[in-house]
Amino acid sequence: MHMTDRGLLALVRHEGVVPGPYLDVKNVWTFGIGHTAAAGPPDPATMPRGMPTDLEAGIREAFRVFRADLARYEAAVLRAVKVPLAPHEFDALVSFHYNTGGIAKAALTRHLNAGNRVAAADAFLNWRRPASIIPRREAERDLFRHGRYPGGTIPVWAVDRGGRVDFSRPVRRLTEAEALDLLRPTPALLPTIPQPAPDAPAGWLARLTDIFTILIRRA
């Protein structure tokens, strides 16, 4: 099971996009779309400070790292939850876990596995520190309970060399279509299959021709 497109957009909106390393509210070095060293490489603490020279390349790298991280969080939710999930419920749980890392120990998971979805939805708000995170918890609860997705553009924020994000004004706003293009990795090019010359069938085509000839003669 994977997040829906709307779920991915909601998660990226909650996190925002910062195309350089920054210090989060817990003073942890973070990059891009909420990526920390705990999720694997790259380690934001070792990345060049400040904004990238090429903003578009920095945004693409943020989404590339996010795609790599996301698979781990989706898998963790599927391991922790033992009951079937609707797509919007799964989206809400992955968003919660991406932010907290707490899906395996959260009360909401215990309530959900016991079949009590009402208590599970209410328990999203057990994770409400710092206070600035409460609107996100409420949005995740409402998504889990009602399938209510947020909308709007996705902000890209500037960061200085000290790791401080300037939230006064985005340096770029991504449309949903732009974000979805970045969320979908470019498919690998398929190998070209050589085609036999029209006047000289060879290999499997020649054998197939022989089989049809035999069948026609026996008819």
- Active-site residues, by number, are 15, 24
E strands of 129-218, at which residues? 154-156, 158-159, 165-166, 172-174
Distance of CA 147 to the CA centre of its chain: 18
Residue 156 backbone phi and psi in degrees, to 5: -115, 125
CA atoms within 13 A of residue 7's CA, in its CB half-sphere: 22
Read off the tokens for 102: 């707490």
Amino acid (one-letter) located at 123? A
CA distance 123 to 112: 10
Q: Please choose, from the candidates 131, 129, 79, 70, the residue with its C-alpha nearest in 3D space to the C-alpha of residue 105.
A: 79
Q: How far apart are the first and last CA of the chain?
A: 51
Only one residue has tokens 């909650």, namely 14
